[in-house]
Structure 1
Amino acid sequence: MKANELRKREGFYGQKLIVLPKKVINDFLIKDAITKQIHITDIGYYPKAGFHYAERNAGIGQHIIIYCIEGFGWVEINKKRIEIGPSEFIVIPKNVPHKYGASENKPWTIYWIHFKGELSSYIVELILKNTENFQPNLSYNEQRIRLFDDIYHTLEMGYGSDALRYVSMTFSHFLSSLIYQKKFSSPDQQPQKNVIELTIGLMQRKIQTDVTLKELADFASLSVSHFSSVFKAKTGYSPIEYYNHLKIQHACQYLSFTDMSVKSVSVTLGIQDPYYFSRMFTRLMGVSPAGYRKKAK
């Protein structure tokens, strides 16, 4: 089989991927005073991504950052090919035709982010200000990787308003580390988790089953009514709605990375009625599960 026949957008062992629902983007991210300035729409990590390849002849509506920490790849922007290696990152402005791929011999390991917002184009200009090839060099920094992991983990825990604002501000810090490398530093802090964060952790552990509102309230040692009130005040969503967001997040990964049927994905996530699952998925993501899978492929 020829190499070009093995090309793929996703499907790499150990990969991570989150695509934020269109409903969350439209209902909150583009309206909130903080997140409308800069926000992530997609985020991922592809380790040793053999045969990784993407081609977008008209570009896309978000800016893209690809940060290579190991191996090699290439990016073609406006028909100009740029080789990418360890400790280098590439910025692809929105709506710019491009394609990219991993080296066949030593495929890259990359962190990548799609983002947009009112300040996004200006930030991209700052990043590219002193470069002519879209490719600033970037020394490896463990703190920068921790920022990425923090962003990913926060989104993995759901889309509460505080979480989304936190991600936006943390991403701004991440971007500043790209623009102002010499000034970049960050203390290693691990804040203690509160009861809502611990409850969200329980939701994650039970993502493939079903959890009741009373079970969540009991875990938090609060009455159902008080727990519901506190949870919504903290996240902007009711506990069950938030739990469903997490289920759909996992559903997106199953649809992107496996060949499981929509019904199997539904049952795996503890939702026995696949029609209910499809309606919920469509409402949150703005596309049916089958349509999402087709787009992802």
Structure 2
Amino acid sequence: MEQCVVKKGFVPSFEGGKEPELTFLYKIKAEKSDCIRAMHAHANELEIILINSGQGVYSIDGKRRAVKEGDIIIYNSNVVHEETFGIDGQINSYCCGISNLHLTGLRPNALISDEVSPVFASGGHYQDIANLLELMFTQLAGRLPRAPETCHYLMLSLISILLDLTQSYVEREDRKGLKNNILGRRIKNYIDEHYAEDLTLESIAKAINVSIYYMSHIFKEETGYSPLQYVSRRRIGEAQSLLVQTDYSATQIGTMVGFGNPSYFNAMFTKNVGMSPLKYRRTCVSMNKEGSKK
């Protein structure tokens, strides 16, 4: 017989006894033609991604990062991110949303420091994390009477495992390689705050008080995008969120995110996502309905 003794009087990780809340859970099989997710952010919740299979390059807070099977990606609240796909054309993953998270030493709805890499290899923790997410998904998809309560406790277990995993990484990581380019960060923050406005290279450079050439060079070096490419993808990503989460028309949404011309919005959305705004809405709504039936 093997026995494990539970330590008494452990200190909870959450500040003031406040417990986080599970807001959504997706099981995603994403192909190049299906619901490509452009740049977006969540103001009041964080996301946890587990890559089950496949590989690709994700843009996270202005930096491109390679992801692969077994990786955990953590998006703190307000972190702009974008998922793209690899050569094989698909990434299978779980996506978990959590709100009301308050951890000592971190800002609200942050699981890690904003200064560390958001991509972690799950290693020996992979199976435990995958099992927790699959059990949560099965409970919710099955609409069991106590599914919300069961998933709440499973989510707390998930957070505890991830805190141990990320802490061990942070202790080993070389902080020198994590310093962001200050000017690139200033440009990105300005665009994130004003993307829905009538931005031009001239207006951005004037606001940052640098030359257009220097601004464009530094930003491309920092993010991999030109400033106006970033503006466009930021707008499209927010439009995707509004198409799925609201009943606004495509024309209204295009205007809300900064595309003044409906035809131009439709053309840019289709070019970047691979389908029109209305087809995107129908496809994602259909996928969500199918997922809830499983």
TM-score (norm. length: structure 2): 0.48
